[in-house]
């Protein structure tokens, strides 16, 4: 039988985080996993509430949700979590976290963390989010370097001055010569839908021959 960490890892639910705005307030909801347990934590920045489950608790919760496999269970959890379908209710020592909508919801009853648990959970999410920001900053910096290199290697594609990466020249090359518009005989060039009207010339007489 797979361990809790393997089940959660396969379901890609080990390290998820989401900001939740609801009637009860504003919270950060996040998951974490150890070798023996998977937990869902909710914090308002001061207090922390936790739901934690080992193998037996996960089996029981999956049965309550009427899901036949852990693959389906964690798929439902992850889909709802990433879609922002997370609601939190309750106050004081107990909170209830609900994921999903309609009949396909997952509900968790969270207890208020002890002082040591609160300290550990806040420390964990603080550094995890800091690592995530650092990672995103590095990816942005790497993307900027690659973009600058592309601009230097293909200066002819830059249109509109420094920093403008355009492809107007390529588009003009690929577009080819403009097709020549053929004018119908008797129609105006400026207004192709209307026929050209000839100006009246009056009555024309041949020059009279001298009778003498």
Residue 23 sits at the vertex; the CA angle it makes with 62 and 29, to the nearest 5 degrees, is 45
The parent domain of residue 17 ranges over: 4-121
- Asked if pLDDT for residue 35 goes beyond 70, the answer is yes
Number of domains present in the structure of the chain: 1
Assigned domain for 104 exists: yes
Q: Is residue 174 part of a domain?
A: no
Please indicate, yes or no, if residue 28 is contained in any of the structural domains.
yes
What integer pLDDT is reported at residue 164 of this predicted model?
47
Confidence category of residue 197, pLDDT binned at 50, 70, 90? low
What digits encode the pLDDT tens for the residues 4-32?
A: 999 999 999 999 999 999 998 999 999 99
DSSP-derived pairing of the beta strands 25-33 and 17-22:
antiparallel
Mean pLDDT estimate for the chain: 84
The answer to whether 27 touches 44, Cβ cutoff 8 Å, is yes
Quote the pLDDT of residue 152: 86
Residue 145 lies in a domain: no
Distance CA 4, CA 205 (A): 111
SS3 58: helix
Distances in Å between the Cα of 120 and the Cα atoms of 34, 112, 125, 126 are 14, 13, 9, 10
**Does any domain span residue 19?**
yes
CATH code of the domain containing 92: 2.170.210.10
Supply the pLDDT for residue 63. Answer: 96
| Residue carrying the six token digits 């518009």 | 181
Residue at token pair 């009207």:
197
Q: What's the pLDDT score for residue 24?
A: 87
Question: Is the model more confident about 203 or about 22?
Answer: 22
What pTM was estimated for this model as a whole? 0.68
């Amino acid at each position: 039988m797979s361990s809790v960490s393997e089940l959660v890892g396969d379901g890609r639910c080990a390290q998820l985080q989401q900001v939740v705005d609801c009637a009860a307030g504003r919270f950060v909801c996040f998951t974490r996993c150890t070798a023996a347990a998977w937990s869902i934590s909710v914090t308002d920045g001061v207090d922390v509430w936790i739901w934690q489950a080992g193998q037996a608790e996960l089996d029981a919760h999956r049965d309550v949700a009427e899901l036949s496999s852990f693959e389906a269970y964690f798929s439902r959890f992850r889909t709802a979590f990433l879609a922002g379908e997370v609601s939190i209710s309750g106050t004081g020592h107990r909170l209830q976290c609900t994921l999903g909508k309609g009949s396909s919801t997952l509900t968790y009853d969270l207890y208020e963390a002890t002082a040591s648990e609160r300290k550990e959970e806040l420390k964990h999410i603080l550094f995890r989010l800091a690592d995530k920001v650092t990672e995103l900053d590095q990816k942005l910096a790497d993307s900027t370097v690659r973009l600058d290199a592309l601009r230097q290697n293909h200066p002819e594609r830059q249109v509109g001055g420094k920093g403008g990466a355009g492809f107007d020249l390529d588009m003009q090359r690929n577009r080819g010569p403009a097709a020549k518009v053929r004018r119908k005989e008797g129609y105006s060039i400026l207004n192709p839908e209307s026929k050209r009207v000839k100006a009246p010339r009056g009555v024309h007489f041949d020059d009279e021959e001298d009778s003498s």
